[in-house]
Amino acid sequence: MTRTLYDLALADEAVRPSPYCWLVKFALLHKGLKFETRAVGFADKAKYPDPAYGKVPVLIDDGVMVKDSPVILEHLDRKYRERPLAATAGERASAAFYGAWLASAIYPALGPLIMLPLIAAAASEDRDYIRRTREARFGKTLEEYANVPDAAQRLESALAALAAPLGAYDFLGGREANLCDYVVMSPLMWRRSATSAELYETPKPVAAWQERMLDLFGGYARAAKRA
Protein backbone atom coordinates (compact mmCIF):
# COMPACT_ATOMS: atom_id res chain seq x y z
CA MET A 1 0.00 0.00 0.00
CA THR A 2 1.36 3.42 -0.93
CA ARG A 3 0.52 6.82 0.50
CA THR A 4 1.66 10.10 -1.01
CA LEU A 5 1.01 13.47 0.57
CA TYR A 6 1.32 16.51 -1.69
CA ASP A 7 3.07 19.09 0.45
CA LEU A 8 3.65 22.81 -0.16
CA ALA A 9 7.32 23.82 -0.46
CA LEU A 10 9.39 26.99 -0.48
CA ALA A 11 12.40 27.72 -2.74
CA ASP A 12 14.26 24.97 -0.92
CA GLU A 13 11.94 22.03 -1.55
CA ALA A 14 12.94 20.51 1.78
CA VAL A 15 11.26 23.42 3.60
CA ARG A 16 7.54 22.65 3.99
CA PRO A 17 5.62 25.42 5.77
CA SER A 18 1.92 24.63 5.27
CA PRO A 19 0.15 24.21 8.64
CA TYR A 20 -2.59 22.19 6.96
CA CYS A 21 -0.05 19.79 5.49
CA TRP A 22 1.66 19.58 8.89
CA LEU A 23 -1.65 18.62 10.47
CA VAL A 24 -1.97 15.70 8.06
CA LYS A 25 1.66 14.66 8.61
CA PHE A 26 1.11 14.59 12.37
CA ALA A 27 -2.04 12.51 11.84
CA LEU A 28 -0.23 9.98 9.64
CA LEU A 29 2.61 9.73 12.15
CA HIS A 30 0.15 9.32 15.03
CA LYS A 31 -1.43 6.43 13.16
CA GLY A 32 1.95 4.85 12.50
CA LEU A 33 1.31 4.90 8.74
CA LYS A 34 4.16 5.02 6.26
CA PHE A 35 3.94 7.79 3.68
CA GLU A 36 6.03 9.82 1.30
CA THR A 37 5.68 13.51 0.55
CA ARG A 38 5.80 15.18 -2.83
CA ALA A 39 6.76 18.85 -2.97
CA VAL A 40 4.68 21.31 -4.97
CA GLY A 41 5.05 25.06 -5.29
CA PHE A 42 2.42 27.72 -4.85
CA ALA A 43 1.87 28.75 -8.45
CA ASP A 44 2.31 25.76 -10.79
CA LYS A 45 -0.99 23.98 -10.37
CA ALA A 46 -0.14 21.57 -13.19
CA LYS A 47 2.03 19.68 -10.70
CA TYR A 48 -0.86 19.22 -8.28
CA PRO A 49 -2.70 15.87 -8.29
CA ASP A 50 -5.92 17.74 -9.14
CA PRO A 51 -4.95 20.95 -10.97
CA ALA A 52 -8.55 22.15 -11.06
CA TYR A 53 -8.74 21.89 -7.26
CA GLY A 54 -5.35 23.58 -6.99
CA LYS A 55 -4.84 23.24 -3.24
CA VAL A 56 -2.98 21.07 -0.77
CA PRO A 57 -2.91 18.96 1.27
CA VAL A 58 -4.00 16.12 -0.97
CA LEU A 59 -3.39 12.53 0.11
CA ILE A 60 -3.24 9.66 -2.36
CA ASP A 61 -4.00 6.62 -0.23
CA ASP A 62 -3.60 3.38 -2.18
CA GLY A 63 -4.89 5.08 -5.33
CA VAL A 64 -7.71 7.00 -3.63
CA MET A 65 -7.42 10.81 -3.72
CA VAL A 66 -8.52 12.59 -0.53
CA LYS A 67 -8.53 16.41 -0.46
CA ASP A 68 -8.58 19.00 2.36
CA SER A 69 -7.12 18.41 5.82
CA PRO A 70 -10.42 17.88 7.75
CA VAL A 71 -11.58 15.36 5.15
CA ILE A 72 -8.21 13.60 5.22
CA LEU A 73 -8.34 13.32 9.02
CA GLU A 74 -11.83 11.82 8.85
CA HIS A 75 -10.65 9.40 6.16
CA LEU A 76 -7.70 8.27 8.28
CA ASP A 77 -9.79 7.70 11.41
CA ARG A 78 -12.43 5.85 9.41
CA LYS A 79 -10.04 3.61 7.46
CA TYR A 80 -7.38 3.07 10.13
CA ARG A 81 -9.19 2.63 13.42
CA GLU A 82 -6.13 1.88 15.53
CA ARG A 83 -4.88 4.88 17.50
CA PRO A 84 -7.77 7.26 16.80
CA LEU A 85 -6.82 10.93 16.52
CA ALA A 86 -9.70 11.79 18.83
CA ALA A 87 -11.03 8.83 20.80
CA THR A 88 -14.19 10.43 22.23
CA ALA A 89 -16.76 13.07 21.38
CA GLY A 90 -15.20 15.23 24.10
CA GLU A 91 -11.78 15.06 22.44
CA ARG A 92 -13.31 15.95 19.08
CA ALA A 93 -15.12 18.90 20.67
CA SER A 94 -11.87 20.07 22.28
CA ALA A 95 -10.06 19.87 18.94
CA ALA A 96 -12.85 21.91 17.34
CA PHE A 97 -12.48 24.53 20.07
CA TYR A 98 -8.73 24.77 19.53
CA GLY A 99 -9.31 25.16 15.80
CA ALA A 100 -11.69 28.05 16.41
CA TRP A 101 -9.24 29.61 18.88
CA LEU A 102 -6.45 29.42 16.31
CA ALA A 103 -8.61 31.15 13.72
CA SER A 104 -9.60 33.97 16.07
CA ALA A 105 -6.43 34.49 18.13
CA ILE A 106 -3.34 32.80 16.69
CA TYR A 107 -3.48 33.18 12.92
CA PRO A 108 -4.39 36.92 13.00
CA ALA A 109 -1.31 37.61 15.15
CA LEU A 110 1.06 35.07 13.61
CA GLY A 111 0.31 35.84 9.95
CA PRO A 112 1.66 39.43 10.01
CA LEU A 113 4.83 38.24 11.74
CA ILE A 114 5.80 35.64 9.16
CA MET A 115 4.27 36.72 5.85
CA LEU A 116 7.25 38.73 4.64
CA PRO A 117 9.85 36.12 5.75
CA LEU A 118 7.69 33.47 4.07
CA ILE A 119 7.51 35.25 0.72
CA ALA A 120 11.24 35.99 0.89
CA ALA A 121 11.93 32.26 1.28
CA ALA A 122 9.53 31.25 -1.51
CA ALA A 123 10.70 30.30 -4.99
CA SER A 124 11.04 33.28 -7.32
CA GLU A 125 8.31 31.93 -9.60
CA ASP A 126 5.92 31.73 -6.62
CA ARG A 127 6.39 35.20 -5.15
CA ASP A 128 4.14 37.07 -7.55
CA TYR A 129 1.41 34.45 -7.04
CA ILE A 130 1.67 34.65 -3.24
CA ARG A 131 1.58 38.43 -3.28
CA ARG A 132 -1.34 38.65 -5.72
CA THR A 133 -3.54 36.05 -4.00
CA ARG A 134 -2.82 37.17 -0.43
CA GLU A 135 -3.25 40.86 -1.17
CA ALA A 136 -6.60 40.10 -2.79
CA ARG A 137 -7.56 38.10 0.31
CA PHE A 138 -6.42 40.72 2.82
CA GLY A 139 -7.48 43.79 0.81
CA LYS A 140 -4.09 45.44 1.41
CA THR A 141 -0.45 45.08 0.44
CA LEU A 142 1.63 42.48 2.25
CA GLU A 143 3.68 45.27 3.76
CA GLU A 144 0.50 46.85 5.14
CA TYR A 145 -0.71 43.45 6.35
CA ALA A 146 2.61 42.88 8.15
CA ASN A 147 2.55 46.29 9.80
CA VAL A 148 0.94 45.25 13.09
CA PRO A 149 3.19 46.70 15.82
CA ASP A 150 1.59 44.70 18.62
CA ALA A 151 1.39 41.36 16.77
CA ALA A 152 4.04 39.73 18.96
CA GLN A 153 2.31 40.87 22.15
CA ARG A 154 -1.05 39.64 20.88
CA LEU A 155 0.45 36.26 20.05
CA GLU A 156 2.13 35.97 23.44
CA SER A 157 -1.19 36.76 25.16
CA ALA A 158 -2.99 34.14 23.08
CA LEU A 159 -0.37 31.48 23.81
CA ALA A 160 -0.63 32.27 27.51
CA ALA A 161 -4.05 30.60 27.43
CA LEU A 162 -2.23 27.28 26.96
CA ALA A 163 -0.02 27.74 30.01
CA ALA A 164 -2.60 26.41 32.48
CA PRO A 165 -3.36 23.06 30.79
CA LEU A 166 0.27 22.56 29.75
CA GLY A 167 1.44 23.38 33.26
CA ALA A 168 -0.61 20.43 34.51
CA TYR A 169 -0.33 17.94 31.65
CA ASP A 170 2.39 16.96 29.19
CA PHE A 171 0.03 17.38 26.24
CA LEU A 172 -3.29 19.04 25.45
CA GLY A 173 -4.54 15.47 25.05
CA GLY A 174 -3.40 14.66 28.60
CA ARG A 175 -0.69 12.05 29.01
CA GLU A 176 -0.30 11.55 25.28
CA ALA A 177 -0.66 13.80 22.24
CA ASN A 178 -3.90 13.68 20.33
CA LEU A 179 -5.68 15.75 17.69
CA CYS A 180 -5.77 18.82 19.97
CA ASP A 181 -1.98 18.89 20.08
CA TYR A 182 -1.62 18.45 16.33
CA VAL A 183 -4.16 21.18 15.58
CA VAL A 184 -2.28 23.68 17.77
CA MET A 185 1.25 22.64 16.81
CA SER A 186 0.63 22.86 13.06
CA PRO A 187 0.61 26.70 12.78
CA LEU A 188 3.66 26.80 15.06
CA MET A 189 5.40 24.56 12.52
CA TRP A 190 4.35 27.14 9.89
CA ARG A 191 6.32 29.73 11.82
CA ARG A 192 9.22 27.38 12.53
CA SER A 193 9.50 26.47 8.84
CA ALA A 194 9.28 30.05 7.54
CA THR A 195 11.95 31.62 9.76
CA SER A 196 14.38 30.78 12.52
CA ALA A 197 14.09 34.30 13.97
CA GLU A 198 12.75 34.63 17.50
CA LEU A 199 9.65 36.68 16.80
CA TYR A 200 7.95 36.48 20.19
CA GLU A 201 8.40 35.08 23.69
CA THR A 202 6.72 31.75 24.30
CA PRO A 203 5.37 31.03 27.82
CA LYS A 204 7.56 28.44 29.52
CA PRO A 205 4.96 25.64 29.78
CA VAL A 206 4.11 26.13 26.10
CA ALA A 207 7.77 26.16 25.11
CA ALA A 208 8.33 22.90 27.00
CA TRP A 209 5.32 21.36 25.26
CA GLN A 210 6.67 22.46 21.88
CA GLU A 211 9.93 20.65 22.64
CA ARG A 212 7.97 17.49 23.46
CA MET A 213 6.02 17.83 20.22
CA LEU A 214 9.22 18.27 18.21
CA ASP A 215 10.57 15.06 19.76
CA LEU A 216 7.54 12.92 18.91
CA PHE A 217 7.80 10.24 16.24
CA GLY A 218 11.56 10.02 16.38
CA GLY A 219 11.99 13.78 16.16
CA TYR A 220 10.23 14.06 12.78
CA ALA A 221 9.19 17.70 13.29
CA ARG A 222 12.49 18.71 14.87
CA ALA A 223 14.39 17.33 11.87
CA ALA A 224 12.26 19.28 9.37
CA LYS A 225 14.37 21.81 7.52
CA ARG A 226 13.82 25.52 8.23
CA ALA A 227 14.13 28.46 5.84
User: What is the structure's pLDDT at 2?
Assistant: 87
* Domain that includes residue 33, residue range: 3-79
Domain match, 27 and 124 both: no
Specify whether 96 is located in the same domain as 75.
Answer: no
CATH code at position 13: 3.40.30.10
Give residue-wise pLDDT tens across range 163-188. 999 999 999 999 999 999 999 999 99
In this predicted structure, what is the pLDDT of residue 137?
Answer: 96
Q: Are 192 and 158 in contact (CB under 8 A)?
A: no
Is residue 86 within 8 A of residue 179, CB to CB? The reply is: yes
84 part of a folded domain: no
Quickly state the pLDDT bin for 81 (edges 50, 70, 90).
very high
Do 97 and 201 lie in one domain? The reply is: yes
Assess whether 112 and 34 both reside in one domain.
no
Q: Are residues 71 and 133 in the same domain?
A: no
Please give the Cα distance from 121 to 163 (Å, whole number).
31
DSSP letters for 100-138 = HHIIIIIHHHHHHHHHHHHHHHS-HHHHHHHHHHHHHHH
CATH number, domain containing residue 137: 1.20.1050.10
pLDDT reported for residue 45 = 97
Q: How far is CA 168 from the centre of its chain?
A: 25
Alpha-carbon distance of 24 to 30, in angstroms, equals 10
Instruction: Give the confidence band of 219 by pLDDT, cuts at 50, 70, 90.
Output: very high
- Global pTM exceeds 0.95: yes
- CA 129/CA 152 separation, integer angstroms: 27
**Average of per-residue pLDDT across 13-21:** 98
Q: Looking at the 3D structure of the chain, how many domains does it have?
A: 2
In the predicted model, what is the mean pLDDT of the chain?
A: 97
Q: What's the confidence (pLDDT) of residue 32?
A: 97
Give 108-142 pLDDT, tens digit per residue. 999 999 999 999 999 999 999 999 999 999 999 99
Q: Say whether both 107 and 196 belong to one domain.
A: yes
65 plus 127 within the same structural domain: no
pLDDT > 80? residue 1: no
- Asked if 107 and 187 count as a contact pair (C-beta separation under 8 A), the reply is yes
28, 61, 79 - which closes a domain: 79
- Is 117 a member of any domain? yes
Q: Are residues 93 and 75 in the same domain?
A: no
In a domain, 141, yes or no: yes
Are 95 and 72 within one domain? no
Over residues 160-165, mean pLDDT: 95
Mean pLDDT of the region 30-45 = 97
